[in-house]
Structure 1
Amino acid sequence: MAARVKATGGLRGWIRRLRPVTDADDELVVSELYREYHRPLLGFVIRLTGGDRQWAEDVVQETMIRAWRGADRLDADAPSLMPWLATVARRIVIDDRRRRDARPQESGEEPLESLPIPDEMEDLLRKVIVSEALKSLSPAHREILNETILRDRSVNEAAQLLGIPVGTVKSRVYYAVRALRVALEERGVTA
């Protein structure tokens, strides 16, 4: 392949012939361009992309396509196409970075509709059921649960506040919790 390109006039010859591929000879010219400049251009672009090889490969490919499309604008007397290719590749990387920076960050692959939203109805329903169950208890049981569980007082504090012995508070708490459990089970709430 390289011998055939050299036979057609070397670098200058195949630059002049570089245009949209229409036959097998043109394919040889394009493959020679790729063979000669791929490795040095890739090394240059990898540095520009911060080591991202996949991105660098994409940039090199786009640069080669632009060289092929813009063959009529290339300087056939230039000793090397590397400065032109490097400039094009650098501009592609800059454009890619600008495009990435201008685009809003993606929130993920899931649509926003699938994000869990707290269901306040569940809490409201629980409160109504517990409230109804508490109303079904005796006034002494409601009072003892109110002081010990809802107001988070110790047995001794509740006994002192209500003016009853500590043993009575313990007993009432035990039976009040048991009665509340039964009242909740009657309303379909199970532990």
Structure 2
Amino acid sequence: MTKHACQWPPGSIDEIVERYQRPLIAYAARMMGGDWQGAQDAVQETFLRLCRESPDDVQNRLAAWLFSVCRSRVIDMQRTSHATPVDASRIPMPDPSPGPETTAIDAEDRSHLDELMDRLTPRQQEVMRLRMTAGLSYREIADVTGLSVSNVGFHLHEAVRSLRSAFPA
């Protein structure tokens, strides 16, 4: 086996890519100020790095590992390009699978929710998206962001409280 050969069983990487590619690209694009090409590059490099890792080393924490590596890659890309930090709260989060009917029916509520999400702090937005879009646990979000588990819980609680108080019942 060469140094760059994939250490995962055949087909397993395909399943992982199928499951995590869209949420990782959305996460990376948001961090990169809407740069979808850069986000795709970061995610591709994340999956390439996964191939070089032993399944035994990351399988029990796969989602957190993927988002953490992707986050680090985006930060590295921003540093090397001398990118000016962008207010990520201004970039709309794409919905990965709505049909035209759903989009038309939910457009007003979705627009209102996007406006309310924009009012959250950048940290609250990040933990909310990692929880809701990526489905990560508090521990996984802590691993990705470097926050403590209790701090993740605090930011999520505050975000939900803010959204509930502002969104009509």
Q: TM-score range by the shorter chain?
A: 0.3 to 0.5
Which of the pair has more CA radius of gyration? 1
- TM superposition score normalised by structure 1: 0.37
- TM superposition score normalised by structure 2: 0.42
